[in-house]
């Protein structure tokens, strides 16, 4: 089974590891920088840009690839799946049209609205034509969120109270967004606890992986700038301490309805991962956004619990027989902590060497934004190395993850509080404060 894996982060490192559990799997990895973990699991690697669709097709043809697994959103947004379909290679990942689920915030909001799927906050999309109406819409909202209608690497979303205060500032930001994007989405600000529900789908069947909570802020106690995610946890009962089963069922129900709506809208089946960013609010479950791929770090939490062979799941997704597979997960807790360069995310040091001393024997280590040069590892400016602890409960998993990060020597930091009792209690109390 020859598999083309696209991507070079920790998410793709864990995907590679999971695919390789199948003894027949041979990995051919296309990366934009050399991830030593992925390279060591691959039969062959090819370095290049994710927008170089010809190079990707050439690499796939040369190696007679059976199917591709596309890890990050960037190649999806360039239409890599469409290009691979042209040469007869199916992919785990949506075509460019369907990847709009992530690449266009207005597409997703309008889809939910058109098909009467619950989960939307109050929202409207604006462009140059209806720009004058924005200020009136602001008056309908208690708090404002502004989202550029396109990929912004998590940096474009601005929230009132965090990034701006007044309606004038909000209007200025909308103007700025419309200089580089065709549209801007303005939404009601939601208060609640966020969680990630990553689902596998062949367009008909939708299967949820255990819910995970990510931590976006750079510093302990949820302070500092937003990042790609400093770490995440999942629980042994496949819920989260502030979520009930009914909440997960609701979020899964929304995702199933969205998969159905995509088919009705486009006549095509969405194949890949539908990762819903949900929030539990006083008005119930709301959708923040969808991503058309696994989350990073969330992929490390769920793929480490997967008991069913991932390569077989992919095969079933490709032939649209996901309904015939029983996808099972270990009843264990996981905690993931990222080690990141000093200054991350606003002003990270780059090209800085790190040393990896003895790794905790129970922890799993995944390479992310690093580059191997000879025998040395250099950080490239974003999240560098992830550590995952697995345990019978969160305490055990957190201890393993926390003890393991110190094997990285260099100018780095991590969040000590992820997965700890104190932070979890804060989350639970937050939910209690609005559900009482």
Helix (H) or strand (E) holding 399: helix 394-404
**CB 296, min distance to ligand GLY, A:** 4
DSSP code, position 62: H
Buried/exposed code over 12-46 (b: 16+ C-beta within 10 A; e: otherwise)? bbbbbbbbbebeebbbbbbbbebbebbbebbeebb
Nearer to ligand GLY (CB atom), residue 298 or residue 402: 298
**CB 299, min distance to ligand GLY, A:** 8
Report d(CA 39, CA 412) in Å as an integer: 24
Q: Please name the residues in contact with 370: beta carbons below 8 A apart, sequence gap of 6 or more.
A: 35, 36, 354, 377, 378, 379, 380, 384, 385
Angle at 230 between CA 396 and CA 355, to 5 degrees: 85
**CB 210, min distance to ligand GLY, A:** 15
**CB 73, min distance to ligand GLY, A:** 8
**CB 228, min distance to ligand GLY, A:** 6
Nearer to ligand GLY (CB atom), residue 12 or residue 214: 214
**CB 23, min distance to ligand GLY, A:** 30
Nearer to ligand GLY (CB atom), residue 126 or residue 344: 344
| φ, ψ dihedrals at 137, nearest 5° | -65, -35
Interface residues with ligand GLY (CB under 6 A) are 214, 228-229, 291, 295-296, 298
The answer to whether 265 and 271 are in contact (CB under 8 A) is no
Question: In sequence order, what DSSP letters do the residues of 280-346 get, joined into one string?
Answer: EETTEEEEEEEESS--TTHHHHHHTTB-S-HHHHHHHHHTT-GGG----B-S-EEEEEEEEETTTTT
The answer to whether 427 and 239 are in contact (CB under 8 A) is no
Report d(CA 341, CA 352) in Å as an integer: 8
Nearer to ligand GLY (CB atom), residue 66 or residue 193: 193
**CB 291, min distance to ligand GLY, A:** 5
Residue pointed to by tokens 């590892």: 377
Q: Please name the residues in contact with 425: beta carbons below 8 A apart, sequence gap of 6 or more.
A: none
Nearer to ligand GLY (CB atom), residue 9 or residue 410: 9
Nearer to ligand GLY (CB atom), residue 295 or residue 348: 295
Q: Extract the runs of DSSP E, i.e. beta strands, from 57-212.
A: 67-70, 91-92, 123-126, 144-148, 158-159, 184-188, 193-201, 206-208
CA atoms lying within 13 Å on the CB side of residue 422:
6
Tokens read off for 246: 């009914």
Nearer to ligand GLY (CB atom), residue 301 or residue 420: 301
**CB 132, min distance to ligand GLY, A:** 33
Helix (H) or strand (E) holding 261: helix 245-266
**CB 289, min distance to ligand GLY, A:** 9
**CB 295, min distance to ligand GLY, A:** 4
Give me the count of residues in the chain: 436
Nearer to ligand GLY (CB atom), residue 105 or residue 360: 105
Nearer to ligand GLY (CB atom), residue 148 or residue 410: 148
Nearer to ligand GLY (CB atom), residue 71 or residue 381: 71
Asked whether the bond before 337 is cis by omega within 30 degrees of 0, the reply is no
Report d(CA 275, CA 272) in Å as an integer: 10
């Amino acid at each position: 089974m020859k598999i083309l894996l696209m991507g070079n982060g920790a998410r793709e490192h864990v995907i590679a590891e999971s695919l390789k559990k199948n003894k027949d799997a041979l990995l051919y990895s296309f990366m934009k920088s050399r991830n030593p973990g992925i390279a060591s699991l691959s039969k062959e690697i090819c370095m290049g840009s994710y927008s170089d669709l010809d190079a990707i097709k050439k690499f796939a043809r040369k190696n007679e690839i059976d199917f591709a697994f596309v890890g990050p959103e960037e190649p999806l947004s360039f239409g890599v799946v469409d290009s691979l379909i042209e040469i007869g290679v199916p992919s785990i990942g949506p075509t460019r049209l369907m990847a709009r689920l992530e690449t266009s915030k207005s597409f997703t909001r309008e889809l939910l609205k058109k098909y009467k799927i619950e989960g939307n906050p109050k929202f409207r999309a604006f462009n140059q034509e209806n720009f004058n109406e924005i200020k009136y819409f602001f008056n309908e909202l208690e708090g404002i969120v502004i989202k550029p209608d396109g990929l912004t690497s998590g940096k474009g979303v601005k929230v009132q109270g965090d990034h701006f205060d007044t309606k004038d500032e909000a209007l200025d930001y909308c103007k700025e967004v419309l200089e580089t994007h065709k549209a801007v989405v303005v939404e009601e600000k939601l208060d609640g606890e966020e969680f990630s529900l990553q689902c596998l789908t062949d367009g008909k069947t939708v299967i949820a992986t255990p819910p995970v909570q990510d931590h976006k802020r750079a510093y302990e106690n949820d302070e500092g700038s937003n990042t790609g995610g400093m770490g995440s946890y999942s629980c042994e009962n496949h819920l989260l301490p502030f979520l009930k089963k009914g909440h997960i069922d609701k979020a899964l129900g929304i995702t199933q309805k969205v998969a159905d709506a995509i088919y009705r809208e486009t006549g095509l089946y969405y194949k890949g991962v539908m990762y819903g960013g949900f929030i539990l609010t006083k008005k119930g479950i709301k959708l923040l956004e969808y991503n058309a791929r696994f989350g990073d770090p969330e992929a490390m939490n769920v793929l480490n619990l997967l008991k069913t062979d991932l390569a077989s799941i992919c095969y079933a997704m490709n032939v649209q027989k996901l309904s015939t597979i029983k996808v099972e997960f270990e009843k264990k807790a996981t905690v993931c902590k990222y080690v990141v360069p000093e200054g991350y995310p606003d002003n990270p040091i780059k090209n800085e060497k790190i040393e990896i001393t003895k790794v905790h024997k129970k922890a799993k280590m995944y390479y992310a934004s690093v580059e191997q040069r000879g025998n040395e590892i250099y950080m490239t400016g974003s999240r560098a190395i992830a550590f995952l602890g697995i345990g019978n409960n969160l305490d055990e998993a957190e201890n393993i993850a926390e003890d393991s990060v110190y094997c990285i020597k260099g100018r780095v930091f991590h969040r000590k509080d992820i997965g700890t009792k104190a932070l979890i209690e804060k989350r639970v109390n937050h939910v209690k404060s609005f559900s009482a």
